[in-house]
Amino acid sequence: MSKLETLVAKARAIRDDSLAKVDPPLGPLPDPLPLNVTGIPKLVLTEKECEITETEPIALLEKIAKGEYSAVEVAKAYLRRAALAQKLLNCVTELLWDRAVARATELDEYYKKTGKTTGPFHGLPISSKEHFSVKDRYVNASFVAWVENKVDQDAHVIEVMESLGAVLFVRSTQPQTIMHVETETVIYGRSVNGYNTNLSCGGSTGGEGALLGLNATPLGMGTDIGGSARWPAASNGRYGMRPTAGRTPMRGLCGAGGGAPAISGAIGPLAQSRKTMEYFFKYILSTKPWLTEPTLIPMPWREKPLVPGKLKIGVMWTDNVVKPLPPVARALKIVTEALKKGVPGWEIELIDWEAKGHDEAWKLTSELYYTDGGEKVSKLLASVGEEQLPLTKWIMSENPYVKKQDIYSLADLEMRRDAYRTQYAEFWNQSGKDDGHPADVILCPVAPGVACLRGTAKYWSYTSHWNLLDYPGAVFPVTFVDQTLDVPEKDYTPLNEQDKFFYELYSPEKYVDAPVNLQVVGRRFDDEVVLQAMQIIESALGRES
Amino acid sequence: MSKLETLVAKARAIRDDSLAKVDPPLGPLPDPLPLNVTGIPKLVLTEKECEITETEPIALLEKIAKGEYSAVEVAKAYLRRAALAQKLLNCVTELLWDRAVARATELDEYYKKTGKTTGPFHGLPISSKEHFSVKDRYVNASFVAWVENKVDQDAHVIEVMESLGAVLFVRSTQPQTIMHVETETVIYGRSVNGYNTNLSCGGSTGGEGALLGLNATPLGMGTDIGGSARWPAASNGRYGMRPTAGRTPMRGLCGAGGGAPAISGAIGPLAQSRKTMEYFFKYILSTKPWLTEPTLIPMPWREKPLVPGKLKIGVMWTDNVVKPLPPVARALKIVTEALKKGVPGWEIELIDWEAKGHDEAWKLTSELYYTDGGEKVSKLLASVGEEQLPLTKWIMSENPYVKKQDIYSLADLEMRRDAYRTQYAEFWNQSGKDDGHPADVILCPVAPGVACLRGTAKYWSYTSHWNLLDYPGAVFPVTFVDQTLDVPEKDYTPLNEQDKFFYELYSPEKYVDAPVNLQVVGRRFDDEVVLQAMQIIESALGRES
């Protein structure tokens, strides 16, 4: 075997050995499997396991706190469901059976002894993307060259979450270089979507997305520098958020980087409910993580910052670069029509948000990603003969905007970034010029379309635009692709080559059962506004969230 | 004339023409002048001008608001006093007579018409360092090559302050490259200290420091990336603060930079009172400057954040690199003895703060200042044959830690910076290990000594160390050099070459009448804590502040 093959085999053995711990083992799967496998868990897991894993996470925490479920039975239910998700979707890099069961046992003992929980996350299983450090485990960050990279400490956010009572139980897949919004690696292959296994689970936090879609995690932790938490949450019809950089603990992530960072990533939740995301931020910030990670901003979670009265929502129907495809356009209509019917306690004003300059923004963003022109990553791949997958080539090697910066061009690039941020801030301020009330949030697509066919996720700007601005964005489910309603637009003249690519690619039968999500975006540090606005928007849809 | 001479002559003519506007002109000065010129204004200005300019700024604002003084008479009093300061200390680059009088006239008209003030700073004259942009004026940033650089907009902080009612009335000197903590340029020569004109007024916001010491400004605005607001405030026995980066508006400063910035500067106040600094932050932040300058953090001023009860102060007697000289050591004793006597409402606990790693920190800091190895600045100077002054050579050209970074070494440097910040955060947390109450602030020197002899300000680490950490620091006056008490330590063995330099340099008769200040430092974003702790400390000294 070549060095590459040896390392890949080692990583897969680690994964497979971890899955072999499942007790009792999973029964056989139907053969053949349907494209939509979201009904399979009911056939393979026990009724109680399904009940536990399909309970909304905050409600689940309440049940654990009341003693209705033990932490161990909850952990085992999720461990078995995640193992099943791996069989169906290829989304797990390591099941943490022993760690999770030991931890849950401790929690149960504490609860038995004291009658109390250890914290607000007492007994909630949580999952994370592979490149989050996990004590005494290997962290490869999707690089074959790093398969033997062992770390000796948990990532800061894992430490914090476990200090609040959570139970880390599974680690999940991410794409090569962690810079695709699909999920495929030389190490583990391709991860897919439970609603339609032809489709991608999204990326880069794709494994978490796949787990979510199968209810195989209540709360996943991902990173997002261009959409990596939001795409997979949206691809699987769930919730996800990229908060403002500097709010969530970041220490202890492995990644190759590429020269001095010029655009900030942030850790965000991928979750079964909006409430879970809010809970995640609120309690993490209650621990004051900035006292030990001083790059963070000491800003506690601000509950319900919107003053009841007017809620002004800018609706961005298109970014004027790639026009949203029929299911997404329909989702925008569903939500805006619902909002027009009103929400008790709020005067909702919808304004059209005209996107300007988003094409230039994408060029700038992709230039900012690899300030060394991708040199370090390319060398790391080449060091063990790991091939560049097509989407790696697309974002890095063949991207005309990616180049190696020197100290001056980097300074210039950062100035252009800041100038764009200033210009957009002015643009946002203008939305209040008539009434002194600028838009509170923007409602917009997450992507031109829904979950992708393999290798087609070549336009990130509906998410990455907000990373460039360091604006928080969160996604929520609206509907599913409808074979009757979501027919392609006739006689459409594409705006440009990118628009043409997506227009020509689309037909509804390729995306059977795919979930359709939308995004709520707020100004920098308006994370709380985004989640409160989402709650109001969901209440217009008749949901309590 | 050479190009250099022509440009220098032009800059001086701009200054001199602006001073010629003074009406009525200043009378003659005593000849010879004493070393301490702080008594001269009483001989040259009217009694009322002295009364106005010697009123504490917040009290002055109250008098203007009550109609006791007009904005025009206040502006003219300060304009004439600043013109006098220029004659005595060479600290002005441009007097803004017309702009200030026109603006004050408008304010008076508004007040006459409405009986109301226009804002919390209604009628307060304010001054700024030369490199703050001023609409339709030249901004040279101390570079001869930039003497003809005209700008078309005020710096953001000036816009904000004028929107609150302030009156910009004078611009002041700063050193070559704005990177000395003294003040001397090829363009304007050397600025000196009103308490002893042999001594420096400090730098880089040195002109503001000199104006303050002569009560020729109530409130100056400076920048601070290594001590530039604190040194000059301290050299002249007044108040100054470097807030956490990202709290005060920064747009519209001119400077050559030097590659991608790796250490953040911040605009801070230099003021006649602590109260004025607090007022400055509170009202600037009340305008939400982050909405138009999105690199800022949306954090309003938090009034009195300390919970009454214990106030724990870490006293850093020395940084273990350069030992504080006798006047500074005595000031620390004065303040700690006063604190030991107690402050009503507070349980004061003093702990010794043992400085660790400050020598390494200085190397890292000076490497961070010029990520291009000083190339851009050197070229700009050379472009018109401007010589590098000795302190420019010291910090930049001859500094062994300054080198041109590439994209990887910059990333490494930033990682080392962040690692140092994390390590120091842990160190700070340890100060609470026994009682769960970490130090609220540190009390420490501003510098090894007091206002400097020409060319000797070669150790910034008592201020720059906190810039490296992005910790807020503020200085306050304690005492003056005492010829009897502040005798050199006998039989002292210096710790190293730097320590030896300052030890051998010192004897009290060189520093007759020099003010002695100390510094209060807080954790990142604890700006409010710093100013509240200073208030408590000053109350121990019997001052209401």
Q: Are A149 and A138 in contact (CB under 8 A)?
A: yes
Mark whether B106 and B144 lie in a shared domain. Answer: yes
Does the beta carbon of A305 lie under 8 angstroms from any beta carbon of chain B? no
Mark whether B181 and B321 lie in a shared domain. Answer: no
Range of the domain at A466: 311-353+431-540
Nearest CA in chain A to B257: A411
Task: Tell me if A410 is assigned to some domain.
Answer: no
Helix (H) or strand (E) holding A289: none
DSSP state at residue A356: -
Task: Tell me if A246 is assigned to some domain.
Answer: yes
Q: Can you give the pLDDT at residue B307?
A: 87
Does the distance separating the beta carbons of A292 and B297 come in below 8 Å?
A: no
In angstroms, the CA B125 to CA B233 distance is: 18
Does the beta carbon of A421 lie under 8 angstroms from any beta carbon of chain B? yes
CATH classification of the domain holding A11: 3.90.1300.10
Mark whether B7 and B82 lie in a shared domain. Answer: yes
What percent of chain B is predicted at pLDDT more than 90?
A: 97
CA-wise closest residue to A161 among A116, A132, A120, A129:
A120
User: Is B150 among the residues known to form the active site?
Assistant: no
Of B291, B322, B345, the position where a domain reaches its end is B291
Residue A198 three-state SS: strand
Mark whether A233 and A339 lie in a shared domain. Answer: no
Instruction: Looking at the complex, report in whole angstroms how far the Cα of residue A410 sits from the nearest Cα belonging to chain B.
Output: 6
Mark whether B257 and B344 lie in a shared domain. Answer: no
In angstroms, the CA A524 to CA A290 distance is: 18
Of B291, B320, B341, the position where a domain reaches its end is B291
How far CA B510 is from CA of B180, B197, B507, in Å, comes to: 21, 11, 6
Task: Tell me if B118 is assigned to some domain.
Answer: yes
Does the beta carbon of A244 lie under 8 angstroms from any beta carbon of chain B? no
How far CA A5 is from CA of A1, A145, A176, A187, in Å, comes to: 6, 11, 16, 9
Residue pLDDT, tens place only, B70-120: 999 999 999 999 999 999 999 999 999 999 999 999 999 999 999 999 999
Q: Edge-to-edge, what's the strand order for the sheet holding B347-352?
A: B92-95, B167-172, B125-129, B219-224, B266-271, B239-242, B473-480, B515-521, B441-444, B310-315, B347-352
**Nearest-by-Cβ selection for A260 from B411, B426, B470:** B411
| Token duo for residue A374 | 């991708």
Mark whether A105 and A227 lie in a shared domain. Answer: yes
Mark whether A188 and A272 lie in a shared domain. Answer: yes
DSSP state at residue B395: I
**Nearest-by-Cβ selection for B418 from A295, A414, A524:** A295
Q: Are A499 and A322 in contact (CB under 8 A)?
A: yes
Does the distance separating the beta carbons of B257 and A422 come in below 8 Å?
A: no
Task: Tell me if A401 is assigned to some domain.
Answer: no
Instruction: Looking at the complex, report in whole angstroms how far the Cα of residue B472 sits from the nearest Cα belonging to chain A.
Output: 13
Instruction: Looking at the complex, report in whole angstroms how far the Cα of residue A257 sits from the nearest Cα belonging to chain B.
Output: 9
In angstroms, the CA A366 to CA A369 distance is: 5
Residue A480 three-state SS: strand
In angstroms, the CA B269 to CA B121 distance is: 14
Mark whether B338 and B231 lie in a shared domain. Answer: no
In angstroms, the CA B111 to CA A541 distance is: 53
Task: Tell me if A366 is assigned to some domain.
Answer: no
Does the beta carbon of B25 lie under 8 angstroms from any beta carbon of chain A? no
Q: Can you give the pLDDT at residue A479?
A: 98
Please name every residue paired with B189 in a beta bridge, in sequence order, or none if there are none: B185
For residue B297, the chain A residues in CB contact (below 8 A) are 297, 299, 525
Report the domain count for chain B.
2
For residue A426, the chain B residues in CB contact (below 8 A) are 292
Q: Can you give the pLDDT at residue B261?
A: 75
In tens digits, chain A (545 residues) has pLDDT values of 999 999 999 999 999 999 999 999 999 999 999 999 999 999 999 999 999 999 999 999 999 999 999 999 999 999 999 999 999 999 999 999 999 999 999 999 999 999 999 999 999 999 999 999 999 999 999 999 999 999 999 999 999 999 999 999 999 999 999 999 999 999 999 999 999 999 999 999 999 999 999 999 999 999 999 999 999 999 999 999 999 999 999 999 998 876 777 888 899 999 999 999 999 999 999 999 999 999 999 999 999 999 889 999 999 999 999 999 999 999 999 999 999 999 999 999 999 999 989 999 999 999 999 999 999 999 999 999 999 999 999 999 999 999 999 999 999 999 999 999 999 999 999 999 999 999 999 999 999 999 999 999 999 999 999 999 999 999 999 999 999 999 999 999 999 999 999 999 999 999 999 999 999 999 999 999 999 999 999 999 999 86
Task: Tell me if B425 is assigned to some domain.
Answer: no
Mark whether B324 and B190 lie in a shared domain. Answer: no
Q: Can you give the pLDDT at residue B508?
A: 98
Task: Tell me if B444 is assigned to some domain.
Answer: yes
CA-wise closest residue to A215 among A340, A448, A52:
A52
Mark whether A258 and A334 lie in a shared domain. Answer: no
Inform me whether the pLDDT recorded for B262 exceeds 90.
no
Over residues B394-398, the mean pLDDT reads 95
Mark whether B256 and B320 lie in a shared domain. Answer: no
Categorize the per-residue pLDDT at B257 as very low, low, confident or very high, splitting at 50, 70 and 90: confident
**Per 3-state DSSP, what percentage of chain A is helix, strand, and coil (rounded to 5)?**
40, 15, 45
DSSP state at residue A394: I
| Three-class HEC string of B71-92 | HHHHHHHHHHHHHHHHHHHCCE
Task: Tell me if B424 is assigned to some domain.
Answer: no
Helix (H) or strand (E) holding A200: strand A196-200
Instruction: Round the average pLDDT of chain B to a whole number and report it.
Output: 97
Mark whether A286 and A321 lie in a shared domain. Answer: no
